[in-house]
Structure 1
């Protein structure tokens, strides 16, 4: 029997667009077609999400992408406006998106939530006194940084990476390190996060860290899993709320 050459996989299929890129490209095409004209306000985020049957976080990421590309801007207390008209696009003409491998910030948080909650559970059975001591030192320094109004997220990063190291599984540690590296190198994450000017939410996250540490000290796998899951859920919800341009209380945290 001969080989069925119809099963050959196209190279272009190996690296498909991310969903937020598909949504962003669709909006870009609608702008290019004249559906949204220069200076016009885009529909509310919730409306776009319902129309396309996707989550609001996906639409949020698509808007961030368009803002980074210079097609739209968010105006404080007003909405998202078209400020640049793209060239006419078709399905095979989207080089900008093909080059962009950035992970959406909410997609990244979701991946971390799934992975880190299980890592915390596993680490609760393997954590050592030395690990606990290191984690405590990071939280103490994190609190000092907050009280000094110092924007330093290194302690936050090291707290999470140390929990992964406490699993005593180098593969899990490497995977988590890669996710944090993606965050550090992500223009979309920086666009989302750098506009937040209040430290209030960070006190909530510090309290979450304390709950995670307590569960680890008790060697409570389920407690550690739940505490980590809830922590990253709080992070997602806080960042989503602070960057919600459709919310009347939006204060321009996300965009210039």
Structure 2
């Protein structure tokens, strides 16, 4: 994730307006369409910004009502630390079942959109965004808004928590071919309307990812042990006495 994502700029602008009193606590934000026009961005970008604002405790999304500004002066619940391992396990559990459900409900149009994301991942152009859209299309194809909301929350955590960003960075960039094959297997399960294969392919995808996270974590821990051992060796070495 090299460049700063556009929706984060929108998050900061909306937060500045909230802090300035343009959007006071309890008030409802303008509709998605109006915000998109005001900030001159797409509606999906506004949607991502709202999700991020909700995770940060600045707004509350009320179904069929709107997005309401929260009082930041009120005592907020302490932020819960979530590790990359916890997030990946949760995604596997939820998105595995989402894939199985989507296999029975996905439309041909949605399958075409999924294939477009696969082509984007293969080309390497905006591969991370295509990956995100791939998972979003599947969760939306379940026709279950709670599942869609959960998956969008997972992505918001992945893109907003520094520990998770760092953990995923090396793993995702070094395994593009494996990621591509896994997504293709998920797609094939959905295209064949095979719930078991779609679920299994999604589980295989996250299983490889979590194992890669463990390997990266172990390698980092080993490097830290070597560094500390080297410092200790330098501190207590007797080489200068025997030369």
2:112 corresponding residue in structure 1: 133
- Does the 8 Å CA contact 2:171/2:216 hold for their aligned counterparts? no
CA RMSD, aligned part only? 2.3
The structure where helix makes up a greater share of residues is 2
Question: What's the offset of the Cα at 1:249?
Answer: 9.2
Which residue of 2 is the match for residue 181 of structure 1? 156
Report the counterpart of residue 114 of structure 1 in structure 2.
93
Structure with more contact order per residue of length (Cα contacts < 8 Å, sep ≥ 6): 1
Look up the match of 1:123: 102
Q: 1:247/1:99 Cα in 2 relative to 1: closer, same or farther (>3 Å)?
A: closer
2: CA distance, partners of 1:178 / 1:161: 11
CA distance in 1 between counterparts of 2:102 and 2:95 reads 10
Name stretches of at least 5 consecutive residues in structure 1 with no aligned partner: 1-97, 251-256
In the alignment, structure 2 segments of 5+ residues that lack a partner are 1-76, 225-243
Aligned to 1:15: none
Match of 1:241 in 2: 215
Query: What are the residue-to-residue correspondences of 1:72-221 with 2, within 5 Å?
Result: 99-145=78-124, 152-194=127-169, 196=170, 199-221=173-195
Contact 1:201–1:238 (Cα < 8 Å) also in 2? no
Give the match for residue 241 of structure 2: none
* Cα deviation digits, residues 116-140 of structure 1 (max 9, x gap): 0001000000010011000000010
1:94-123 Cα deviation digits (max 9, x unpaired) = xxxx94423111000000001100010000
Distance change in 2, residues 1:142/1:227 (3 Å): same
Change over 3 Å in CA distance of 1:241–1:164 after alignment to 2: same
2:219 match: secondary structure:
coil
C-alpha displacement at 1:242, in angstroms?
Answer: 2.6
Distance 1:185-1:200 versus aligned 2 partners, 3 A rule: closer
Q: Is the 8 A contact 1:120 1:224 kept in 2?
A: yes
Q: TM-score, normalised by structure 1?
A: 0.53
